[in-house]
Chains A and B, each alone.
Chain A
Amino acid sequence: GENVEQHPSTLSVQEGDSAVIKCTYSDSASNYFPWYKQELGKRPQLIIDIRSNVGEKKDQRIAVTLNKTAKHFSLHITETQPEDSAVYFCAALRDDKIIFGKGTRLHILP
């Protein structure tokens, strides 16, 4: 089955700097890669996703890149703000199942 590895587990960046979270997946047949943000005590919410026929997608300060050959995908957040503090989960779709990574806790330092 699919296995999604995510790193780092914790990331602290200065407000205004960029943050990068990286994920790898094991099943080359996976074709959809969403990212979810979970604030403390809240439910996970989709922030961006990418399909396997696209190499990069951007939405304002958030971008995701996908390298199908290497089975890597990354989340990039630019000009970080205090409200970006949360846990971020990458995920991969295989056989109708969305499999999540273990999460990255992002701290934005003032």
Chain B
Amino acid sequence: GAGVSQTPSNKVTEKGKYVELRCDPISGHTALYWYRQSLGQGPEFLIYFQGTGAADDSGLPNDRFFAVRPEGSVSTLKIQRTERGDSAVYLCASSSGQGGTGELFFGEGSRLTVL
């Protein structure tokens, strides 16, 4: 596709459930980022992939959060035992640059609501 694609666009779940959010980056982009954006806040860094490996996962809030990118393209953010505080828009971005200095192309985001 022409841009970064994220699915689902909206997800409503109950507290304690497991959720997967998918990101399909721009073809050929080696760098992939996950951010979380709460209402009225800036994007909060979660994890960065360069190729298949997680180059930096220091932003993941706790061990309920995990992300994979097994073939260096599509990435999945996985959240276990969801809590109400996990409600936010989860943004994925990809970039052709190494080391973060390329433009980040964001997807439309996945809005997660935990009831």
Contact = CB atoms under 8 A, between A and B. Distances in A.
A43 B109 contact: yes
Contacts, number: 57
A32 B99 CA distance: 10
Interface residues of A, number: 23
A98 interface: yes
A89 B45 contact: no
A96 B99 contact: yes
B58 A1 contact: yes
B49 to A, nearest CB: 10
Contacts of A20: none
B contact patch SS: loop
Contacts of A102: 40-42
Interface of A: 1, 6, 32, 34, 36, 42-46, 49, 51, 89, 93, 95-103
Interface of B: 33, 35, 40-45, 48, 50, 55-56, 58-59, 91, 99-101, 103-104, 106-109
19 contacts: A34-B103, A42-B108, A43-B91, A43-B106, A43-B109, A44-B104, A44-B106, A45-B106, A46-B103, A46-B104, A93-B100, A95-B56, A96-B50, A96-B100, A97-B48, A97-B56, A97-B59, A98-B104, A102-B41
